[in-house]
Structure 1
C-alpha cells in the first residue's frame, strides 16, 4: 500500500506549475520553464522518497501549453535524458505516479471542438508519462464529464470517444466517480463496459449520497475492474471540512476518521491518494499511523513530529504543549499524539495565543536576520498583518535554510 498527495508539497521551495501568458510565448521561455519544472519534479520525488512517500500526482502543468496548438516544440526529445532520469528514479525507488487532467478535459461533451481539445490534452499527458519510460501502472485519472440533459446519451458519447482513443491513452486511462454527475454505480457500469479500471473516491461518494453500499462492497466491485498488470487499485481519500460547505476538502486528515476507513480497506491491494489541503504533511501523518498499526514506532520521529507541530500547539496555550509532551512520554503513540492535535484543530476557533507562536518563531530566527528584515517583520506585526508576518518569516527561513522552515506552523 502506497500513500501519496497531489502536485505541490508544502513547506518546500519546489513547484512544477510554472507557466506564462500565451502572448509571451517563445521556445526560449518554454525551454526555461520546462527545465525548471522538471528539475523541481526530481527534487520533489527525492524529498518524497526520503520520507517514504511512494505515490505522487504530477501536475498537468508540468509542460506549459502541453496540449496547445502553439506548442510544436519537441520537448520529449529535447529533454529526453532528463525525463528518462526521472523515470528511472521512480522505478528504482518503487514509486507510482499519475496525472489528473482538469475539469475542462471532457470526453462526452456534445461539442466536438471540446472533445477534440480534450483528446489532445490526454494525448499530451500520456506522452509525458511515456517519456518517463513508465509502464501502464502509472495512470491518467479522468471524470466522465457532464450530463447535458440526457445522461444515457452522455454516457454513450463517453464510451464511443474512449473506444476511438489511441492505445497509449487507453492503457493509462482510469475513471473516477464524481460528487454530482456520475455515481460509483454509473462509473462501474462504464468501466465494466469499456474495460477501464475504476478509481473510487470516498468523498465524492459521500457528497453524491446515492447508495448504501459498504466500503467493502464497493471495493470488491472496483477491484474486479483492475487487471493485475494495471497495478494496485487506486483510490482517492478525503474528508469534509467541518467549517465549510459540503464538498470542501479538509485542511488536514483527521486520524480517527481515517482509521475507520483504513480498517475497512486495509485487506484490499490498493494505493491511497490523499486529497487534502496540507498535502505531504497529512501523508506523513498517515504513514506514521499505519507504521504504528504495523508495530513500528520510531521514538525519534515521534519527537521530531511534535517539534514540527510545536508552534501550532503553542498557539492554543502552553498547557496544550505540556499535554502533548505528556502523551508522548506516557504512550509513545503517533495515533494518540495526532488525535490530541486534531481535537485542537477541530475546535474551529482562532488560536487564542496565535501571536505568541508568531513571536516565538520570530525569536528563534532573529539572530539569523539582518536589521532590515527585523524591521520589516516588526512593521507587519505592528500593523496587525499577522498572516503576512508569518508568510514573511517562512520566506526568510527558506532563504537562510533555517530548521524552523520545517515547522507545520507555516503550513
Structure 2
C-alpha cells in the first residue's frame, strides 16, 4: 500500500514538475517577448527622440542659413543700391543725333528666325545633340528593320558598336540644319532682309578634340546648294565663334581648341563656294576674351598665335570690342598692326570704353570711324557693325549688358553699312526698325493673326471621342434643329513645301512686342 502511494506520489511529482517547467518556460517566453517589446519600444522612442533632435538641429541650421542668406541678400542689395547710385551719378552719355537716312545698307539678324522656328514643320539650323547621343548611336537599333523610336526602338548596347553609325547620326542632324538655310534665306529676301549670321551650332561638336569631324565630303553638296541661293539673292552671311575661342589665352589647350574652332568655321564658309566678293564678306567675328591679369602679355600671345593661322582664316578674322575687358582703343592699334578689321559694337562700347580718350555715348566714337574703315577697305571687305540697346530702366553695367528685345533707333553709322541687329526678337527686331523709320521693305509684311497660321501643315486639334450625354444631344437638337449631324474631320488645304512658313497670301509674319505666343495654337485652359 505504501509502495503504491509512493509510486503515485512520484508520478504526481513528475507531473507537477513537468507542469511547472512548462509554466516557467511560458513565463520565460512571455518575459522575453515583453522584454523584446520593451527594447523595441525603447529603440523606437530613442529613434523618435533622435529624429526630433535632428529635426530641431536642422531647423536651427536652416534658420542660421536663412539669417546668413538674409544677411547676404541685405549685403548684395546694399551693394547693388550703392552701385546703382554710383552709376546713376555718372555723366549722361553723349549720343549723336545723326540718323543714317535714307538707309541704303543692309540690316541683319543672328542665327534664328523666330517665325520659322515656330512653323510646322519647324525651320531652323541649330539642331543639336549630346556627345552621349553620338556614342549611343554607334550601337545598332534593337530592330534594325524599323525606324528609330524614342522608347520602342532604341540603340541596343548589348550589340557590337560601330563608329560609323554614330557619325552617320550626327551627319544626318547636320544636313537637316544645312538644308533649312535656303528656306531661311528666301524668307529673308521676301521681307527685305539680306544679311544673316549663320549658326555655329549647325555642325554639333565639329571642332571637338575627340568627337570632331571635317565637313567635307558629307556636307559639301548641301553647303554648295546653300551657297548658290546666297549668291543668287545677293545676300551676306558670316559667323561668330563663341566666347571660349580665345587666341590670347595662356593655356595651350585653349589655344588648340580655338584654332580647331576657327578651322571649322572657315571650312563651313569656304564650302559655300561663294563668288569672290561675297566670300570676302563672309567674315568670322572674334572677341579677344579675357585679359588674364595682363593686357600687354595677352596681346603678345595673340600676335604669336595669329601669325600661325592659315591664310584663309587670317583673311576672314575680324575682332570685336566687348562689354567687359577690351575697348575699341585697346583693340584698334593691334588691328592696324596685323591688318585685322575691327567690328564696332555700339552697345559694348557704351558699357566698356576708354574714359581717358572719350565720353560715353555714340558721339565721340565717330572720330575713330575713318581709322576703323581703313582696315576694311585695305582688305577689300565690306564693313559691318553691330547694334543693340540695353533694357529699359537698366542702370548698372551688369544690367545694361542685357540686350533689349527690340532696339528703337539706329546708330550714327554710314547709311550704306551692313548692320547686325543683336536682339532677342531676331528678325522681328529688324522689322521693328523697318517700321519705325520706314526702311526699304517695311510695307512687305503684316501683323499675324493671334494663334492662327495659314502657312503651315500643322495637324488640326484632335476631336474629342467622348460619348455625348442625352442632355448634350437634346441641347444640340434645340440649338441646331432635329437634323442628322455628322462629326467629320476638318481637312485643310496642304501648303506646298516652298510656301511653308512664308506668311501666306497676306504676308502675316510680324508679331507685336511680347506676343511671341501668338505664333503657336492657343493652349487649352
Q: By the TM > 0.5 criterion, same fold?
A: yes
| 3-state SS of paired residue (1:4) | strand
> Are residues 216 and 74 of structure 1, via their aligned partners in 2, closer, same or farther at CA, if it must alter by over 3 Å?
closer
In the alignment, structure 1 segments of 5+ residues that lack a partner are: 312-360, 374-397
| 3-state SS of paired residue (1:141) | strand
CA contact (8 A) 2:209 2:257 kept: no
CA contact (8 A) 1:137 1:229 kept: no
CA contact (8 A) 2:431 2:510 kept: no
Offset, 1:168: 1.1
Choose 279-288 or 172-181, whichever is displaced more: 279-288
Structure index of larger Rg:
2
Offset, 1:369: 3.7
Q: Distance in 2 between matches of 1:297 and 1:69?
A: 46
In the alignment, structure 2 segments of 5+ residues that lack a partner are: 1-104, 117-121, 135-165, 466-494, 518-525
Residue matched to 1:69: 209
What whole-Å deviation, never above 9, does each CA across 1:322-373 have from its counterpart, x for those lacking one? xxxxxxxxxxxxxxxxxxxxxxxxxxxxxxxxxxxxxxx48x9xx9644459
CA contact (8 A) 2:214 2:264 kept: no
Offset, 1:215: 4.1
| 3-state SS of paired residue (1:171) | helix
| 3-state SS of paired residue (1:53) | coil
Offset, 1:277: 0.8
- Does 2:343 align with 1:189? no
Q: Distance in 2 between matches of 1:28 and 1:203?
A: 41
What whole-Å deviation, never above 9, does each CA across 1:136-191 have from its counterpart, x for those lacking one? 21100001111111111011111111111111110000000001111001111111
Offset, 1:234: 0.9
Q: Distance in 2 between matches of 1:38 and 1:241?
A: 33
Q: Distance in 2 between matches of 1:293 and 1:75?
A: 38
CA contact (8 A) 1:215 1:265 kept: no
> Are residues 97 and 88 of structure 1, via their aligned partners in 2, closer, same or farther at CA, if it must alter by over 3 Å?
same
Residue matched to 1:237: 387
Q: Distance in 1 between matches of 2:378 and 2:331?
A: 20
Offset, 1:74: 4.3
> Are residues 372 and 21 of structure 1, via their aligned partners in 2, closer, same or farther at CA, if it must alter by over 3 Å?
farther
CA contact (8 A) 1:177 1:201 kept: yes
Which one of the candidate residues 28, 52, 55 is aligned to 2:168?
28
Q: Distance in 2 between matches of 1:236 and 1:98?
A: 13
- Does 2:422 align with 1:275? yes
Offset, 1:77: 1.2
Matches within 5 A, 1:12-411: 12=116, 13-25=122-134, 26-71=166-211, 73-134=213-274, 135-210=279-354, 211-212=358-359, 214-227=364-377, 229-244=379-394, 245-254=399-408, 257-258=409-410, 261=411, 264-267=412-415, 269-289=416-436, 292=438, 298=443, 301=444, 305=446, 307-308=447-448, 361=451, 369-371=461-463, 406=509, 408=511, 409-410=515-516
Offset, 1:85: 1.1
How large is the Cα RMSD of the aligned pairs? Answer: 2.8
Q: Distance in 2 between matches of 1:99 and 1:123?
A: 12
Residue matched to 2:113: 9
> Are residues 72 and 293 of structure 1, via their aligned partners in 2, closer, same or farther at CA, if it must alter by over 3 Å?
closer
Q: How many residues align?
A: 320
Residue matched to 2:54: none
| 3-state SS of paired residue (1:241) | coil
| 3-state SS of paired residue (1:159) | helix
CA contact (8 A) 1:3 1:287 kept: no
TM-score normalised by the chain length of structure 2: 0.57
Offset, 1:71: 4.1
TM-score normalised by the chain length of structure 1: 0.71
Q: Distance in 1 between matches of 2:439 and 2:364?
A: 23
Q: Distance in 2 between matches of 1:286 and 1:195?
A: 33
Q: Distance in 1 between matches of 2:439 and 2:268?
A: 37
